[in-house]
Structure formats: structure tokens, C-alpha cells
Amino acid sequence: MAQETKYTEDNIRSLDWKEHIRMRPGMYIGKLGDGSSADDGIYILVKEVLDNSIDEYVMGAGKTIEISIQGNKVAVRDYGRGIPLGKVVDVVSKMNTGGKYDSKAFKKSVGLNGVGTKAVNALSSFFRVESNRDNKSASAEFEQGNLINKELLEESSRRKGTKVSFIPDEAIFKNYKFRSEYVAKMLKNYVYLNPGLTIIFNGEKFFSENGLKDLLEDNNNKEDMLYPIIHLKGNDIEVAITHSRTQYSEEYHSFVNGQHTTQGGTHQSAFREALVRTIREFYGKNFEASDIRKSIISAIAIKVMEPIFESQTKTKLGSTEMGGGLPTVRTYINDFLKTQLDNYLHKNSTVAESIQKKIQQAEKERKELSGIRKLARDRAKKASLHNKKLRDCRVH
């Protein structure tokens, strides 16, 4: 007989915010890792801090962000408005505290759950935040989420903005090391999504003038592109499209509110569907979807009111609504492509002709491959019929 265990008030334990984050870090930043993969936890910490600075730029405050990584110490400095001085401690150490719950202030930002910076604080052996505004500054220092020092309302001549410095805790992230190439790729995506923003990383400048068009050009051989990149922009959407001459797979880069959604989501699915529908209607032919999308190289970025992601790491969009009185994500993207891509193809007949030939070539290759497979199956079937041991008992 199993021994009965006691269950009393003493068995009930309440964790404060930092204890819970440190005990269950995966709930907040995904996997931990040691920095050898681009999605390891230490890069998520950098991203969480950067997201706040990016949101400042999106709101029109500060055009430059400086980031340095020296050994294990990360420092991010923006020139936005700065955190309200009386709330410096609360913003980085009280759960569900932040300016992004007021949709008027940050209606299309990434960090809406009030967790990001607090997770960085709790998972760092050292964390310091400094805010400069109104010719004054306030700062606070933490260790593993515990406040150890704060200085409020000092006179300051420093430029307004916020600076966050932190060292990921080696007790959480075992034997970790930052790889500059992973950070650099992250920063490139930030500037593609925010044309006009300058990010300086350890002295290296990142800047994009043409957004997603630059992304496709930088990530692909220009000579391999079948036609010049189609670059379309709307109020809450940006799209870049071309086809490769040599690759067969589909290539997508998708973003929501400046966040790189590496696992896609509702917006990427809607884009793939809308592209097929628009192409079919433009040419008046019911092309196979796979033939239309074969060899495509594309990028899409949308802005959604209070986006819902499928995990705290925000790599896959779950939202079905654009918000703010706009239609669904699917309808919005479809209507945009139906109008803008259709107009582009009508005005650029050479590009339209190149796309049609590419689709027809894909169709031809698919049918030829299907014929080869059928022939191989037929031959295999005939071979088995001539072997008495392999004959089908239900037929013979």
C-alpha cells in the first residue's frame, strides 16, 4: 500500500517574479544554449533589450542605437525619450509594467507582454539601466534581479535616451560565448525593417535605405535573380519578390512589427496564398500553386495591433486580425497584393513575361518528372510480375 504524503499549507510555495524566471527560463526566452546557435538564449536577451530601443525609433524618437559586446558584457544605448525617471526601477523589475499596454503610445510594438526586460534582469549576474531625460538621469543596478543600487534624479548633461548593460548569468547559461556573426545578422534584419535607422555594433555601422529590397539583394546573387526585385509598400505592409534562375526551393523572410518570424505564421501563409491567387487572376490561368512559387525569393513585413505570437520567443505569428479597424491578416495581405502586384505587372510587361515563362518551365519540369516516376513504377511492377515469388496472390 502506498504511503500517504502530507499536503498542508507548508507545501504551498509562492515564487516572486525573478525566482520564477530563473527557475523556468525556457518559458520566457526559449532554449538556453551556449551561444553556438543563433536562437540561443543569450541572443534573445540582446533582442529583448534592443526591441525597446527599436520601438522608440518607430515612435519617432532617436535615429541611432549603439550596441557593444565586450567579452560577456552587453551594452545597448539609444537616444529615444528615456524611461520616465520615477519608473526606472519598476520598468525593469515589476512584471506586467511598461508603456506598451497603452495602445496609443506603442500600438504596433513587439514587446507587449511586459516580460522582456525583466527576464533579462533576472537572468543576468549584473544588470544596469540608466535613463536620461529633462537634463536629469536616474539609474539602477541589479544582480540576478535583486536591486543593489539606485540613483534617482541626478543633474545630467548627457543626451536623452536609455542605456542598458548586462552580463548573462553563467549559472543559467553554462560556458556561453557570444558569436559576433549571429548578432550582426540580427542587427541587419533590424535595419532592413527600419529604413533610416543606424545601428552601430562594436564600431561597425548597419544601415538600410531600401528596406526589404536591400535584404533580398544582400542575401542573394544579383545575377541569379530572374528579374529586378518587385518592391511594394503600404501603410502597414511591405513586400519584396523575385525568382531565382537556379534554386528550386521557396525562400521567405517574414517579419511582424520588426520582429523576424523565422517560423512564419499567419502572415506568411496568407502571403503564399495571396501570391498564387493574384498570379492566377492576372494571367487568367489556373496554374498549380507549386509551379507559381517554385524558385521564389521573397520577404514580407506587416504591422499588427497587439500581435499574438505562439511563444515568448516571438518567432511565429498567431494573430489572425490586423486590429485597429482593419480586416483580417489574410484579407489585408490578399487585398494588398491583388491591387499592388497586379498594377505592377500591368505596368512592367517584361517582368510579367519573365514570371509567366518561369511558371511554364516549372510546369513542364513537374510533368516530365511525374512521367519519369510513373515509368519507373510501371517498370518495377512488370519486373515483379515476371518473378513468380513476387506475384500478387490476389491477382494471380
Closest CA to 71 of 126, 33, 116: 126
pLDDT digits (tens, 9 = 90+) for 128-147: 999 999 888 999 999 999 99
- pLDDT-derived band at 260 (thresholds 50, 70, 90) equals confident
What pTM was computed for the model?
0.82
Cα distances (Å, whole numbers) of residue 236 to 8, 274, 329, 353? 54, 16, 11, 29
Q: Which of 113-122, 251-260, 314-323 has the lowest mean pLDDT?
A: 113-122
- pLDDT-derived band at 338 (thresholds 50, 70, 90) equals very high
Gyration radius from the chain CA atoms = 26
Number of residues in the chain: 396
Half-sphere exposure of 48 (CA within 13 A, CB side): 28
pLDDT at 115: 67
d(CA 45, CA 74): 10
- pLDDT-derived band at 12 (thresholds 50, 70, 90) equals low
Mean pLDDT of the chain: 86
d(CA 288, CA 346): 21
- pLDDT-derived band at 104 (thresholds 50, 70, 90) equals very low
CB contact burial 11-50 (16+ within 10 A = b; e otherwise) = eeeeeebbeebbeebeebbbebbebeeeebbbbbbbbbbb
Return the C-alpha cell found at 80. Answer: 529615444
pLDDT at 26 over 50: yes
DSSP 361-372: HHHHHHHHHHHH
Closest CA to 160 of 60, 274, 80, 101: 80
Return the C-alpha cell found at 358. Answer: 518561369
Identify the residue with better confidence: 159 or 163. 163
Mean pLDDT of 366-395: 67
Q: Is 242 helix (H, G, I), strand (E, B) or coil?
A: strand
Mean pLDDT of 292-313: 88
Q: Which of 206-220, 250-264, 328-342 has the lowest mean pLDDT?
A: 250-264
What percentage of the chain reaches a pLDDT higher than 90?
58
pLDDT at 101: 44
d(CA 152, CA 137): 7
Q: Which of 15-24, 160-169, 229-238, 330-339 has the lowest mean pLDDT?
A: 15-24
Q: Which of 110-124, 259-273, 278-292 has the lowest mean pLDDT?
A: 110-124
Residues 6+ apart with CB under 8 A from 334: 270, 273, 274, 277, 278
Mean pLDDT of 32-39: 90
Tell how far CA 310 is from the center of its chain. 12
Residues 6+ apart with CB under 8 A from 111: 48, 51, 52, 55, 98, 100, 117
Closest CA to 140 of 190, 94, 199: 94
pLDDT at 150: 82
Mean pLDDT of 170-183: 95
Contact (Cβ atoms closer than 8 angstroms) between residue 69 and residue 202: yes
pLDDT digits (tens, 9 = 90+) for 73-83: 999 999 999 98
**DSSP letter (8 states) at residue 5:** P
Identify the residue with better confidence: 314 or 66. 66
**What domains appear along the chain, each with residue ranges and CATH number?**
17-207 (3.30.565.10), 212-359 (3.30.230.10)
pLDDT at 99 over 60: no
The sign one gets for the Cα dihedral 371, 376, 380, 385 is: positive
Query: Left if phi > 0, otherwise alpha if psi is -120 to 50, otherwise beta: which for 287?
Result: beta
Single-letter code of the amino acid located at 7: Y
Contact (Cβ atoms closer than 8 angstroms) between residue 313 and residue 44: yes
